[in-house]
Structure 1
Amino acid sequence: MSDNTLAKIESLGLKLPSVPAPIAAYVNCVRTGNLLFLSGGLPIDGDRKIIGQVPGQVSIEEAYEGARIIILNRIAIIRDEIGSLDKVKRIVTLNGFVSSAPDFYDHPKVVNGASELLVEIFGDRGKHSRTALGVSALPLNVAVEINLIVEVED
């Protein structure tokens, strides 16, 4: 089966990772009807982990890259679930959580890493509603966590 979206990812010099295993008592994705609800993803790519609070321990730029890592992990899950990324009708919503100091207010700059990559890959299908907020801590002390709701076609 042809997968033009996968070819687009490769043309950007990117590669989908293996589907990450959940780290606790949940599943990566639940499908109901034509919606996929993806669990929160962490910025982990092999041995590389984006750890710590923004901006004190992790720069905005590094956390932005972490958000991109998360999206590639989430896309790997989507592909595993539906077979072809060309079946993605729309990225519906993205929720981004940034581990940050109480006086940090640039959460959107971090979460833009995810949002911009989705549009690069999916074009208009990648445009979505979004929440970007700060929290005092995240699992495994990661800098950012992102979940998605995606509409797919049969």
Structure 2
Amino acid sequence: MGAVESRLAELGIQIPEVVPPVAAYVPAVIDGDHVYTAGQLPMVSGALPATGKVGDGHGLVPPADAKEYARISALNALAAAKSVLGSLDRVTRIVKVVGFVASDPSFTGQPGVINGASEVLGEIFGDAGVHARSAVGVSVLPLDAPVEVELILAFV
């Protein structure tokens, strides 16, 4: 078992199965020494745990829940990367995280939500998990998901 797999076991984190694409794309591609993942939704066992916009009001997805969904989305992105790499032990750096948050018009806490993805990547990869990032509020995401995360990873 390699270092990343050992760290995942230590943290009690299981990388899920790759989420099947919901349209005409593949979950991840390799170009040179980088893996680019498609945007990953917080699918769990083939379903979204919540739908709708993120915000602080009635009927909205609470930001704390959305942060957990960003974490799940990042793990789904790692599953996509693993599907083309064979092992996450080949990852040398998380280069960039792009996170989208389906936001109520008054919600401005997108960075806090996407911290769910950034924090789990740091837990798993340590210094190699420190990355550049964008956290973007959008009006709607596929399947009415509250968050979506994509990764760019360097590997050997």
Band of TM-score, shorter chain: over 0.9
**How far apart, CA to CA, are the structure 2 residues paired with 1:105 and 1:74?**
24
Runs (4+) of structure 1 exceeding 2 A deviation are: 47-50
- Pairwise CA distance, 1:50: 2.7
Q: Is the Cα–Cα contact under 8 Å of residues 44 and 50 in structure 1 kept in the other structure?
A: no
Q: Note the aligned Cα RMSD (angstroms).
A: 1.1
- Give the TM-score normalised by the residue count of structure 1: 0.94
Q: Is the 8 A contact 1:37 1:148 kept in 2?
A: yes
1:67 partner SS? helix
TM-score (norm 2): 0.93
1:148 is matched with which residue: 126, 151, 154?
151
Which residue of the partner structure matches residue 102 of structure 1? 105
Name the SS for the 1:40 alignment partner.
coil
Q: Report the alpha carbon displacement of residue 23 of structure 1 after superposing the two structures with TM.
A: 0.6
How many correspondences in the alignment? 152
Query: Structure 2: which amino acid aligns with 1:49?
Result: P
Instruction: Give runs of aligned pairs for residues 118-137 of structure 1, distance below 5 A.
Output: 118-137=121-140
Q: Which runs of 5+ in 1 are unaligned?
A: none
Aligned identity (percent) is: 44
| Cα distance per residue 1:31-82 (max 9 Å; x no partner) | 1110111000001111452311111421111000101111111111222211
CA deviations 1:99-151 (Å, max 9, x no partner) are: 01111111001000000100000001111000001001000000001111111
* Corresponding residue for residue 53 of structure 1: 53
Indicate the structure with greater strand content.
Answer: 1
Shift of 1:8: 1.0
Distance 1:3-1:77 versus aligned 2 partners, 3 A rule: farther
> Which residue number in structure 2 is paired with residue 14 of structure 1?
13
